[in-house]
Amino acid sequence: MWLHDGRVVHSEVTDTGFDPQSIVRGFVSREQHDAVVATGYGRHVARELLGCQVVTEIKAYARGAAHLFPGAAAVLDIGGQDTKVIALGPGGSVADFEMNDKCAAGTGKFLEVMASALGFTLDELADAALLADSGIQVSSMCTVFAESEVTGLVHRGVDRGRIARGLHESVVKRTHGSLKRTGAGMPLVFAGGVANNRAMIELLSTTLQSALLIPDNAQTVGALGAALSHAD
């Protein structure tokens, strides 16, 4: 993402693939810039390559979300590999945060694996969950164990829609626990790839009894925050 005087002039989403160095090199050479800030898992690779400043995605999401929604009290980011909950302090600073440990429980990856176990695409999984009138409880949050649990339910002839709803409910329940532990207030900015999932939005806002603030471009909140943090 390219910023000029705090305004986004250009942004792109690219997969860094198996050769992040060349992707990064090509990416930054696309537009003129005075400074670069890197965030995300590959931030240190970018720092070695470009000698640039780095910030963690926690700080970047906090800064980006507070910029987009100045009244926000907290940020929830559910991505492919991890889930972050950030309680915001003044000026988009981080008051407290929580991130999942070393497994994919409650992340986008969990929903992806479950969709495939049910023979759904991700969109179909969300739609089926919204259509079902009640969820069937999936007790395991471990992606591996939950997959066998889901397979077992399918074999017992349980309706796929109800399983889909139960899976979303279990992610919401886990997320809710994380929000409570962090002391995250409302309103909440919901970002990351899973913020595109309509079933998650509906179930989560019902549980929290609060409307969620969803950025137009949920995947670039971190890049925006990183770029903004250069001026800090």
Partner 1 sequence: MSDAPVDYRPMWTELGLDLEAHDALLGAVGPMYANAYMAQEGRPEGTGYFDFVMSEIHGLRIKELDDFRKAGNKVVGTFCLYVPEEIVRAHGAQCVGLCAGAEFAYDEVERILPRNTCSLIKSFMGFKLGKVCPYMEESDLVIGEATCDGKKKAYELLGELHNVHVMELPQMKRERDKEFWRAEVRDLISKLEELTGNTMTEETLRSAIKEVNDKRRALQRVWKTRKADPVPISGKDALLATQIAFYDDVPRFTQMVNNLADEVEQRVADGVGVAPKGAKRVLVTGAPMSIPNWKIHDIVETSGGVIVSEEMCTGSRYYDKLVDEDGATMDELIDGIADKYLDINCACFTPNEGRMEDILAMAKDWNVDGILHYSLQFCGPYQIEATQVERVAKDAGIPILKIDTDYSMEDVGQLSTRVEAFLEML
Q: Which residues bind partner 1 (CB under 8 A)?
A: 41, 55-59, 82, 93-97, 99-102
Cβ nearer to partner 1, comparing 82 with 169: 82
Query: Strands, E, within 101-226: which ranges?
Result: 188-191, 212-213
Minimum distance from residue 176 beta carbon to partner 1 (Å): 19
187 preceded by a cis bond (ω within 30 of 0): yes
Minimum distance from residue 170 beta carbon to partner 1 (Å): 21
Minimum distance from residue 56 beta carbon to partner 1 (Å): 4
Cβ nearer to partner 1, comparing 93 with 151: 93
Greatest CA separation for the chain: 60
Pairing of strands 212-213, 53-54: unpaired
Minimum distance from residue 196 beta carbon to partner 1 (Å): 23
Residues 52/38, Cβ–Cβ less than 8 Å: yes
Rounded Cα distance, 172 and 137, in Å: 12
Cβ nearer to partner 1, comparing 122 with 185: 185
Cβ nearer to partner 1, comparing 95 with 214: 95
